[in-house]
Amino acid sequence: MNQLSAISPELLIASVMVASTPILLAALGELVVEKAGVLNLGVEGLMIIGAVCGFAMAVITGSVFVGAVAAMVGGAMLALVFAFLTQYLLSNQVATGLATTLFGLGLASLIGKPFIGERPPPMPRLQVEFLSDLPFIGHVLFSHDPILYLALLLAFLVWYFLRYTKMGLVLRAVGENHDAAHSIGYSVRLTRLAAICFGGALAGLGGCYLSLVRVPQWSEGMTAGAGWIALALVVFSSWRPLRLVLGAWLFGGVTVLQLNLQAAGVGIGVAYLSVAPYVVTIVVLVLISLNRSQRLLNAPACLGRSFFITS
Amino acid sequence: MLRLEARAQPSALMQTAAPLLALAATVVGGGILFLILGKNPFVSIRIIFWDPLFDASLVSYTRPQLLVKAAPLIMIALGLSFGFRAGIWNIGAEGQFVMGALAGSAVGLALHPLEAFWILPLMVLCGIAGGIAWAMIPALLRVYFRTNEILVSLMLVYVSYRILTALVTGPLRSPIGYNFPESRSFHDNPSMHNAELWSGTGIHIGILVAGILVVVCWYVMRRHLFGYHVNLMGQSNKVAGFAGVRINLVIICCLGITGALAGAAGVFEVTGPAGKLSPHFPVGYGFTAIIVAFLGRLNPIGILFAGLLMALTYIGGELAQFILDAPAAAIQVFQGMLLFFLVAADLLVNYRVKLAVPGGLFKPRPAESDAGGKST
């Protein structure tokens, strides 16, 4: 067990922030989608499409930023299919979400086939004259890539948007009671369409963070359930963006810790340790569901229900 | 413009027609997909849908394979259909399939090198128990803590993959397998081998069981009180509760049935067509079965046909790989597309699509838009 001391707290915290970014981005997108009253179970598919689109475009163009934009466009486009089916063809959201995931996983392996074994261009990192050189804090806080900071900024912006802007209010109204929102003249469909596309773009960005920064490589099924963990995270956060950040850090922490324990060679099998993030997700879901009253208070009332204009 | 009108009753005609429409749309969409991949779309579609059934040089291989691939899909989808009807979304059948196979194999391997007629049946029973046990985790969490069963059951799929890897690199690794992450081959041991019953037909016991289960499930769904309760819950949890349905019991039963059937399918698969446990043993039957269940309209007879169709796309996809050098993932896209078209076609069951004629009898348009149209 003495190898445990080899784990440096500085590197540990820095890698927790990296590990939590993909799920934070995907979960932020899904939070907005769910606040608009739509349950999109296709996050896993959207993430992997983002991962492959971002990777492919980054390798082709040699620019990670083109890759990141391509990932967002890819995610938003697949989300648009989901949006069209659920909003205009009134399909069952659970079944359509599953279809999005299955289709996305297949399409991603198809697109990614020629890119297996390629290496993406490196993502630039923040380098501030004084701050990045600070002993502990510099490494932990001021030497990451721009997407990581963007994710944190987005968490704040989503919180502000939902809480203090008129459009945020409309979006929440649509999620709480779509009939009422419709009757006072807001377009339920367009609001939801926009929310779903935003969610798709963020899931795509989260996916490409995996393939461009975290891993960085393309392999089939590389999201390995990150999209589903993001969905669980939204429930965990009781639909609050800032609490989402804490949740993402928790999951990032568990992932990184089990990887570090594997590397340090504690006497537990690698396969058993790698179960940790999934088991923690289940445990957290159970703990959250114990506090039922608070969950019901925050859950959008129209979550998962189709909207049909009757008159 | 097209306009939707809610039907008073779901259309019975469309219930049957929607899957066929979706299939037709998928064939067209699949053709376009192969065209984009640079293959002749007509040849591709023929290779996937026609050749496995009727090409004289292939049928001796493909027809038995059709049954071999369809059986686990049908068994799992039958189990899923109960839950889906009741509004319980167990999407972790893949995990229950893997854990069933693991539990069954573990017992069989523990008894090695014993030879006895009861070993395979015992393995199947343990597989069923393993599948049920794995399904009880989301079931009990849902009943006692109201935890979302979608996320829990799905997370457990990833857990089951890791456990499989851990066991085949650890306790279940074959002592004569040169350290490969594999179990002993079940084919080498007659009492653990789920062999073909008639040579060249591909039919093993699991396929017969799947056939019998179709009839049993049809009976339970249509004629038995449990099937009625499941359907009632699907209509409305509240109504079912008032009518005296023990909702928690139905939830546990629905998940238990899926676990049992998926677990049994896992043992039949590992002792038969797969032959041994390895990290590559799960090929996603548990997820494809979700498509099968929907395509079959959650109806046992429909699931029978849907399972065969899905098996056909698997085999056709393999053929397309060999003959056309098409990527393996193309067939996965194909299956995903089918589910997309299916949920879209469902619109026709509950809604009528009407052509809204401008200035028509039933929906007079506002005057200004009319004037606007003429002035330009």
Query: What is the per-residue pLDDT for A89?
Result: 86
Place of tokens 């090409």: B55
CATH number at residue A291: 1.10.3470
Arithmetic mean of pLDDT, A143-147: 78
Query: What is the per-residue pLDDT for A30?
Result: 93
Under an 8 A CB cutoff, do A90 and B151 touch? no
Query: What is the per-residue pLDDT for B364?
Result: 46
Distance from CA of A7 to the nearest CA of B (A): 24
Nearest neighbour of B146 by CB, restricted to A99, A292, A308: A292
Query: What is the per-residue pLDDT for B214?
Result: 93
Query: What is the per-residue pLDDT for A2?
Result: 45
Alpha-carbon span B249 to B237, nearest angstrom: 13
Q: Does residue A126 form part of some domain?
A: no
Q: Does residue A305 form part of some domain?
A: no
> What percent of chain B is modeled with pLDDT above 90?
30
Q: Label residue A130 by pLDDT band (50, 70, 90).
A: low
Nearest neighbour of B336 by CB, restricted to A85, A102, A289: A102
Nearest neighbour of B147 by CB, restricted to A89, A109, A286: A286
Closest chain A residue to B328, measured at CA: A110
A291 touches chain B (CB under 8 A): no
Owning domain of residue A190:
2-120+147-298
Half-sphere exposure of B291 (CA within 13 A, CB side): 29
B:218-247 residues touching chain A, CB 8 A cutoff: none
Alpha-carbon span B317 to B69, nearest angstrom: 13
Q: Label residue B1 by pLDDT band (50, 70, 90).
A: low
Tell me which residue of A215, A234, A274, A250 sits closest to A17, measured CA to CA.
A250
Arithmetic mean of pLDDT, B78-93: 91
Residue A85 gets which letter from DSSP?
Answer: I
Alpha-carbon span B104 to B3, nearest angstrom: 54
Q: Label residue A7 by pLDDT band (50, 70, 90).
A: low
Q: Which of A30, A80, A103, A238 to mutate to test the interface with B (most CBs of B within 10 A)?
A: A103
Chain B hits for A106, CB-CB cut-off 8 Å, are 329-336
Tell me which amino acid residue B34 is: F
How many C-beta atoms surround the C-beta of residue B150 within 10 A? 23
Q: Label residue B370 by pLDDT band (50, 70, 90).
A: very low
Distance from CA of B340 to the nearest CA of A (A): 6
Alpha-carbon span A227 to A44, nearest angstrom: 4
pLDDT digits (tens, 9 = 90+) for B151-197: 899 889 999 998 998 888 888 888 887 778 888 888 888 878 877 78
Nearest neighbour of B343 by CB, restricted to A91, A279, A292: A91
Q: Label residue A48 by pLDDT band (50, 70, 90).
A: very high
Query: What is the per-residue pLDDT for B211?
Result: 92
What beta strand segments (E) does chain B contain? 2-6, 351-355
Nearest neighbour of B166 by CB, restricted to A109, A232, A271: A271
Q: Label residue A135 by pLDDT band (50, 70, 90).
A: low
Under an 8 A CB cutoff, do B162 and A272 touch? yes
Q: Which of B158, B172, B283, B354 to mutate to test the interface with A (most CBs of A within 10 A)?
A: B158
Chain B hits for A97, CB-CB cut-off 8 Å, are none
Distance from CA of B320 to the nearest CA of A (A): 14
Query: What is the per-residue pLDDT for B375?
Result: 37
Tell me which amino acid residue A166 is: K
Alpha-carbon span B338 to B341, nearest angstrom: 5
Chain B hits for A308, CB-CB cut-off 8 Å, are 4, 6
Q: What average pLDDT does chain A have?
A: 84
Query: What is the per-residue pLDDT for A132?
Result: 65
Q: Between A128 and B293, whose confidence is greater?
A: B293
B:315-344 residues touching chain A, CB 8 A cutoff: 327-337, 339-340, 342-344
Is A133 a residue whose pLDDT tops 70? no
Q: Range(s) for CATH 1.10.3470 in chain B?
A: 57-321
Query: What is the per-residue pLDDT for A6?
Result: 58
CATH placement of domain B57-321: 1.10.3470
Q: Label residue A311 by pLDDT band (50, 70, 90).
A: very low
Arithmetic mean of pLDDT, B309-336: 86
A279 touches chain B (CB under 8 A): yes
> What percent of chain A is modeled with pLDDT above 90?
27
**3-class SS at A29?**
helix
Arithmetic mean of pLDDT, B139-149: 90
Q: Label residue A251 by pLDDT band (50, 70, 90).
A: confident
Query: What is the per-residue pLDDT for A140?
Result: 65
pLDDT digits (tens, 9 = 90+) for A191-250: 999 999 999 999 999 999 988 888 888 888 888 888 988 988 888 888 888 889 998 988
Alpha-carbon span A199 to A72, nearest angstrom: 9
Is B368 a residue whose pLDDT tops 50? no
Is A44 a residue whose pLDDT tops 70? yes
Arithmetic mean of pLDDT, A274-279: 86
Q: Label residue A138 by pLDDT band (50, 70, 90).
A: low
Query: What is the per-residue pLDDT for A131?
Result: 65
Distance from CA of B348 to the nearest CA of A (A): 9
Query: What is the per-residue pLDDT for B376?
Result: 34
Query: What is the per-residue pLDDT for A185?
Result: 85
Nearest neighbour of B340 by CB, restricted to A85, A90, A270: A85
Is B124 a residue whose pLDDT tops 80? yes
Arithmetic mean of pLDDT, A79-99: 89
Arithmetic mean of pLDDT, B25-47: 87
Under an 8 A CB cutoff, do A289 and B146 touch? yes
Chain A hits for B156, CB-CB cut-off 8 Å, are 278, 282
Query: What is the per-residue pLDDT for A148?
Result: 86
10 Å CB burial of residue B288 (0-12, 13-18, 19+) is buried
Cβ pair A24, A251 in contact under 8 A: no
B353 touches chain A (CB under 8 A): no
The length of chain B, given as a count of residues: 376
pLDDT digits (tens, 9 = 90+) for B202-218: 788 888 999 999 999 99
Q: Does residue A311 form part of some domain?
A: no
> What percent of chain B is modeled with pLDDT above 70?
94
Distance from CA of A308 to the nearest CA of B (A): 9
How many C-beta atoms surround the C-beta of residue B356 within 10 A? 14
Q: Does residue A44 form part of some domain?
A: yes
Is B372 a residue whose pLDDT tops 60? no
Under an 8 A CB cutoff, do A98 and B91 touch? yes
Q: Label residue A310 by pLDDT band (50, 70, 90).
A: low
Compute the count of residue pairs across chains A and B with CB atoms less than 8 Å apart: 138
Q: What average pLDDT does chain B have?
A: 85
Distance from CA of B156 to the nearest CA of A (A): 7
Is B342 a residue whose pLDDT tops 70? yes
Is B21 a residue whose pLDDT tops 60? yes
Query: What is the per-residue pLDDT for B289?
Result: 93
Q: Label residue B373 by pLDDT band (50, 70, 90).
A: very low
Distance from CA of B236 to the nearest CA of A (A): 14
Distance from CA of A100 to the nearest CA of B (A): 7
Domain tally for chain A?
1
pTM above 0.90, yes or no: no
pLDDT digits (tens, 9 = 90+) for B225-254: 888 888 888 888 888 888 888 889 999 999
What does A18-36 look like in DSSP terms, one character per residue? HHHHHHHHHHHHHHHHHHT
Chain A hits for B327, CB-CB cut-off 8 Å, are 109-110, 113
CA distances for A1 relative to A16, A256, A265, A267, A268, angstroms: 22, 18, 8, 8, 11
Q: Between A141 and B368, whose confidence is greater?
A: A141
A271 touches chain B (CB under 8 A): yes
Alpha-carbon span B238 to B224, nearest angstrom: 21
Is B150 a residue whose pLDDT tops 90? no
A105 touches chain B (CB under 8 A): yes
Closest chain A residue to B337, measured at CA: A103
Distance from CA of A113 to the nearest CA of B (A): 8
**3-class SS at B238?**
helix
